[in-house]
Amino acid sequence: MNKWRLKTVGMCGTAILVLSLLNACAPPKGADQASSSKSSGSKEEIKIGFVSQLSGGGALYGKQMENGAKLAVDEINKKGGILGKKIKLIIQDDQANPSESVKVTQRLVTEDRINAWIGTLKSSDTLTDIGITSKQDIPSFVPVAVANSITESDYTNVYRNVANNSMQAKMFVDYILKKQPHKKLAIIAENTDYGRGLSEDFKSFFEKGGGEIVNVEYYNVGQKEFNDQLTKIKGEKPDGIVISGLVAEGALVLKQAQDLGMKTQWYSFGGFSGAAPIKLAGKAADGMIHTEYFTPIKGDKKIETFVNAYKTKFGDKPDAYYSAATYDAVNLYAEGVKKAKTLDNKKVNDALHSISNYQGVMGSISFQEDGQATTKVWMAQIKDGAQTVIFRPE
């Protein structure tokens, strides 16, 4: 019995000695945490978190964003990745729900430990999500959401590679006042941050330029009947009407206005890009002039290469900016990492802020101090059931 006790004590003493030696060799407590705050993700791969609406009414646009991101990641990985590391794209559906968007973004940051974040379809969701990524200084890209406040939040890690509301409205107003005869307009807008912000900016710029806004009517997202708003606008006899909203409701506005016998020039914004307005509104959309960020035109080598690669991978042609802008966002992050020569978040952010005249699918991109790109918008018109570019800036 005594021998057994002595043997046990000896074994325990040996174990304690080994553990003490291991603890002495271990890094100080907190060393791992301090290291991970510089750059998220694993050493073997670069993780990009992607968040957008992939179910419900906006899934059409979210899927195009997802496809653009997938294509860019595939192309980069086929060339060996970045700094010898492959990219892993982690896709999350926010269901166009702010609480869900926060939840999936939080998961991407804390559990997946992403190196970069891209999203979302809606400005309100984007604003809450970048509040999370900014705490870790994670480079965050906004290729679609256009609320001015996104790049007015004093975050140093946020980059938007598309024109914001004010930029879009100002360029649209300049085009209408210089190129179109309509100086007396009405506005029908969705009652959201997007719709109100865009309509307010447009009204302000249009009136400062000498035009007149005779009426502004609002509707709710999901609304099906617009007779009240359209009847009020019809009574003001405007030269043209601006739809400040997305195509789901906008297409119904066009069709119901046609039923009311309203013959006028229609204007709108990027929500009327692509084939969707033609499919949903039919002939009622003919003549509509809207802002545009990207159209698969021929004669531009970079655009043609992107369009062909997209069509080969997904079977259809990218006909709106959702896929092109997200494709550019992934490549902009890659450019930042290459310039920084590291995944360290601060150094990557410094490199991204220094990007100037990057030639993306959507044109030349340079980031201002606040992370907003100095991009320009195109003008397109729906003619005979097809989108046609009528103005492309130099």
What pLDDT, in 10s, does the model give residues 100-131? 999 999 999 999 999 999 999 988 899 999 99
pLDDT value at residue 8? 40
CA-based Rg of the chain, rounded to a whole angstrom? 26
Q: Which residues are CB-contacts of 327 (< 8 A; sequence separation ≥ 6)?
A: 68, 69, 71, 72, 306, 360, 361
pLDDT value at residue 42? 54
pLDDT value at residue 40? 58
Q: Where are the beta strands (DSSP E) in the chain?
A: 45-52, 86-93, 116-119, 140-142, 158-160, 184-190, 212-219, 240-244, 265-268, 289-292, 358-360, 363-365, 378-383, 386-391
Residue type, 52: S
Q: How far is the C-alpha of 360 from the C-alpha of 312, rounded, in Å?
A: 20
Q: Per CATH, which fold does 45-163+299-375 belong to?
A: Rossmann fold (3.40.50)
pLDDT value at residue 295? 86
> Domain boundaries in the chain?
45-163+299-375, 166-292
pLDDT value at residue 1? 43
Residue-wise pLDDT for 125-167, tens only, equals: 999 999 999 999 999 999 999 999 999 989 999 999 999 999 9
> Quick check: do 45-163+299-375 and 166-292 share a fold?
yes
Q: How far is the C-alpha of 87 from the C-alpha of 77, rounded, in Å?
A: 6
The low-confidence residues of the chain, meaning pLDDT below 50, are 1-37
Q: Per CATH, which fold does 166-292 belong to?
A: Rossmann fold (3.40.50)
Residue-wise pLDDT for 280-319, tens only, equals: 999 999 999 999 999 888 888 999 999 999 999 999 999 8
Supply the DSSP symbol for 196. Answer: H
pLDDT value at residue 9? 38
pLDDT value at residue 394? 73
